[in-house]
Copies of this chain bind each other. A is one copy, B any other.
Amino acid sequence: MSLPHAILTALLEKPSSGLELTRRFDRSIGYFWSATHQQIYRELGKLEAEGLIRALPAEQPVRGQKKSYEVLPAGRAELARWTAAAQDPKPHRDTLLLRLRAAAMVGTAGLEADLRRHLDLHRQQLAEYEKIEQRDFPPGKDSAQDRLQHLVLRAGIDLETFWTQWLEHALAEFAELPGRDAK
């Protein structure tokens, strides 16, 4: 149950409308907790009903009209509670590793191309993160807030670095596989 808390965090960083949230999920929070606009609107409704956030404008809340939300004290409290509460790590699910293991049984035919594609995607993501680091964390910005956010970004950078390296290694391994599409 993390989506509501992701939204609370985003709204604390900056009160926003549903669409603005959606965009920010695409660029930032979504890097480790993605969500579609449908999910976000649904959740905004629930959070408002629970009294954790409220709609900002007194303007008529018509369809097709922007509606911004801000976090209420109860919402902040709930977020603090959730942040501090112990949580077990959820097991990862990685399709690519699964496919590799399947390939050990049914052959690697066709897999290599997709590995290359993934390598490319991870390189792009890495470049993206590094641009963000340059832009948002110049030396000197090191308030507690900055340090924590930077820490999160570092995790992203290091994870992408790991994947690019692993994929390069995997492709090298593929290149020297006995029969190429070994049974």
Shortest distance between the CB of A120 and any CB in chain B (Å): 11
Q: Are B104 and A149 in contact (CB under 8 A)?
A: yes
The interface residues of chain B lying within 8 Å CB-to-CB of A156 are: 97
Shortest distance between the CB of A174 and any CB in chain B (Å): 9
Partner of A98, one of B5, B104, B106: B5
Determine the main DSSP class of A at the interface with B. helix
Residue A72 is within 8 A (CB to CB) of chain B in the complex: no
Shortest distance between the CB of A162 and any CB in chain B (Å): 5
Residue A178 is within 8 A (CB to CB) of chain B in the complex: yes
Partner of A158, one of B86, B166, B183: B166
- Chain A residues near B (Cβ < 8 Å): 2, 5-6, 8-9, 12-13, 29-34, 76, 79-80, 82-87, 89-111, 113-114, 117-118, 121-122, 143-145, 147-149, 151-152, 154-156, 158-159, 162, 166, 169-170, 173, 177-179, 182-183
